[in-house]
Amino acid sequence: MTYTSHADLGGRDCGDPVIAEPEGLLWHAAWEPRALALTLAMGATGAWNIDMSRSARETLPDYAQLSYYGIWLAALCRMMVERGLVTDEEIDQAQVRVAPRPLSRVLRADAVADVLARGSPTMRDVSAPARFQIGDRVRTRAGHVDHHTRLPGYAAGRVGTVECVHGVHVFADAHAQGLGELPEWLYSVAFEGRALWGDDATPGTSVAIDLWEEYLERA
């Protein structure tokens, strides 16, 4: 089966303008805050990790047609159904038909502040030296991989310069597939506009992208 992400939008031709929005406008429908909170609360149960959520969202076949919280809601339902936590019929009929499955945690109201303030740090202890240093020239992996990844398509097979070394972080590609954290060194790699877009690039522009060591080889 071929993995297709519908979320890898960088550099796609999209003539539509960006529509500014005033500060403080958070919701565009009454259900949106509930969808956000349901997603956070179910995420806090530990039934999946955040990289699995991102993978579930980006592979929704109707991703491009859905609103942002529509994507969240569809992915939430999908992950719960896949894990046998609910059935489509239960959601459609608003009725419990199948006994609940045990979850390791439930987010209680009095724990919300602590859970949000703690977050889920992804930095891990260093177990091997970093392969690259600031200033090193590196080339990114070219070609498709059949799973969730954070190397954007527009930066595949391109040469850039290591700009920051961020330490060792949970490797999203592996984490999304349920293979464990497999932490790796994470870098910001800066690409000149020309290296990404050729003659279409605006002079004096560059893009820095956060990339794990596995995506990179010395250029």
Partner 1 sequence: MAHEHDPHHDHSELDEMDLRVRALETVLAQKGYIDPAALDVVIDTYQTRIGPRNGARVVARAWVDPAFADWLRNDATAAIGSLGYTGRQGEHMVALFNTPAEHHMVVCTLCSCYPWPVLGLPPTWYKSAPYRSRAVKDPHGVLAEFGVALPEGTRVRVWDSTAEVRYLVVPMRPAGTERLDESQLADLVTRDSMIGTGLPKAPAEAA
Distance of alpha carbon 65 from alpha carbon 71, whole angstroms: 9
Closest CB to partner 1 among residues 50, 136: 50
Distance of alpha carbon 160 from alpha carbon 190, whole angstroms: 5
Please state the closest distance from residue 6 (CB atom) to partner 1, in A. Answer: 10
Applying CB under 8 A, does 64 fall inside the site for partner 1?
yes
Site for partner 1 in 19-58 (CB under 8 A): 19-21, 23-26, 28-31, 33-38, 40-42, 45, 54, 57-58
Applying CB under 8 A, does 174 fall inside the site for partner 1?
no
Q: Which one of 2, 61, 84, 95 is in contact with partner 1 (CB under 8 A)? A: 95
Q: CA dist 167 to 50, 125, 146, 189, Å? A: 20, 8, 26, 14
Strand ranges for 7-142 from DSSP E: 123-124, 137-140
User: What single DSSP character describes residue 48?
Assistant: S
Smallest CA-to-CA distance from 10 within 124, 152, 146 is with 152
Distance of alpha carbon 60 from alpha carbon 4, whole angstroms: 9
Q: Which one of 60, 136, 188, 213 is in contact with partner 1 (CB under 8 A)? A: 188
Q: Which one of 60, 139, 182, 197 is in contact with partner 1 (CB under 8 A)? A: 197
Residues 6+ apart with CB under 8 A from 74: 57, 60, 62, 66
CB-CB contact of 117 with 145 (8 Å): no
Q: Which stretch binds partner 1 (CB under 8 A): 110-118, 126-134, 135-143?
A: 110-118
Applying CB under 8 A, does 111 fall inside the site for partner 1?
yes
Applying CB under 8 A, does 131 fall inside the site for partner 1?
no
Closest CB to partner 1 among residues 177, 206: 206
Please state the closest distance from residue 119 (CB atom) to partner 1, in A. Answer: 4
Applying CB under 8 A, does 145 fall inside the site for partner 1?
no
